[in-house]
Amino acid sequence: MVNESRALQKIGEWADLSGEDLHLYLDIASRVQREKLDQRDDFTNFSGERYFEFLNEQVLPDERIDYQLESANIPSDKLQKIQKGEVPIKSLYAERYKLDYGLDQIVDFIMMMKFVHDYIEKTGKEGVAPRNRLQYLLYLVNYNLSQEDTLPNRSNRTNLKNLEHTGYRYTFSKSQTGPFSQRLYQDKNRLFAQSLLHEEVMEESVSQEDEPYRVSLGETGKRLFARYGRKLDDMESVLLKEWDLQQQEVLNEYAEMSLEDLKETIQSMPRFEATPLTDELLQARQRDFDEPMDSIQELILSV
């Protein structure tokens, strides 16, 4: 499932709300959504289009939202769609997150998808859960790259070592519970919008500080890996090989670790302990790729 506040905000923006009207709508809609979620008994596969149907059928037509939107004088055609539960939510996300990016950004997408795919293959689980576990594990991939200087014929302009040349273009900051990258979640949402990744509400209970969603491959993502997965396991690029090597090492060491142990491991790292709350914890990769990516060009074009 996409980030709930983003879904409600996209709907508000689609309805031409702004300023105080948008904030008031978000406050009311978020409260209504929480109430409706608390009333649900079944969260099985509550994700994707089912989540959008839930918003259209149970949240948006609520009389409190209707009253506020009428007071805000939104366009009558859009008000009617909200009242009838016919807001084209999926198309709003598809438009917002169309995969129209350069090579470096798309490589981030592919390597995130590969990490999720390999995590599922290794653990036998349905996906990466809770959602913040993905943040922690991808942080460790970049952290490991920043600790090694093994790439041949590469000069460094920073102290990021291998991370200067390969790895995710995500800057991580320190949150209360662990590393956090807003850009990582933005990319995750872009992949969700194209059915390359999938999210669903977890049936298992988690602590209040954790995000109760499971991340797995979407239907389009599954088809891509069925067709190109072997190429991704045998990449020719030195930079991608090193990146994937660190992903496999993180999976081998941390994939089966409990969430509490994973948090404790990261929080006990000297860098994490020394970084003030909300400050930058680890920089993103600084350089663009400067070598051919022939082994995954076909997959990139398919995305």
The answer to the question of residue 184 being in a domain is yes
The answer to the question of residue 275 being in a domain is yes
Same domain, 46 and 77: yes
Same domain, 115 and 255: yes
Same domain, 9 and 128: no
The answer to the question of residue 97 being in a domain is no
Question: Cα 277 from chain centroid?
Answer: 22
Going from the C-alpha of 294 to that of each of 153, 177, 236, 238, the distances in angstroms are 20, 39, 8, 12
In the structure encoding, which two tokens stand for residue 80, read together? 């009617």
The answer to the question of residue 298 being in a domain is yes
From 88, 115, 138, the end of a domain falls on 88
d(CA 285, CA 266): 20
d(CA 29, CA 16): 15
In the structure encoding, which two tokens stand for residue 100, read together? 């129209």
| Domain carrying residue 123 | 103-302
The answer to the question of residue 98 being in a domain is no
The pLDDT assigned to 291 comes to 60
Same domain, 148 and 272: yes
The pLDDT assigned to 39 comes to 82
Same domain, 121 and 268: yes
Same domain, 61 and 117: no
Helix axes of 103-123 and 219-233: crossing angle, nearest 10 degrees: 90
The answer to the question of residue 276 being in a domain is yes
Same domain, 202 and 233: yes
Question: How many domains, the chain?
Answer: 2
From 55, 88, 121, the end of a domain falls on 88
Going from the C-alpha of 196 to that of each of 85, 102, 221, 224, the distances in angstroms are 26, 17, 4, 8
Same domain, 250 and 110: yes
Instruction: Tell whether omega for the bond before 130 is within 30 degrees of 0, i.e. cis.
Output: yes
Same domain, 28 and 108: no
The answer to the question of residue 94 being in a domain is no
- Nearest CA to 292 among 229, 244, 237? 237
Same domain, 46 and 139: no
Same domain, 163 and 259: yes
Same domain, 120 and 268: yes
Going from the C-alpha of 199 to that of each of 35, 105, 122, 173, the distances in angstroms are 21, 21, 19, 24
In the structure encoding, which two tokens stand for residue 221, read together? 């993502």
pLDDT along the chain (303 residues), means of 10: 65 88 90 85 62 90 94 93 91 59 81 97 97 97 95 78 93 94 90 88 83 92 88 85 96 97 97 96 84 57 54
From 63, 88, 113, the end of a domain falls on 88
The answer to the question of residue 96 being in a domain is no
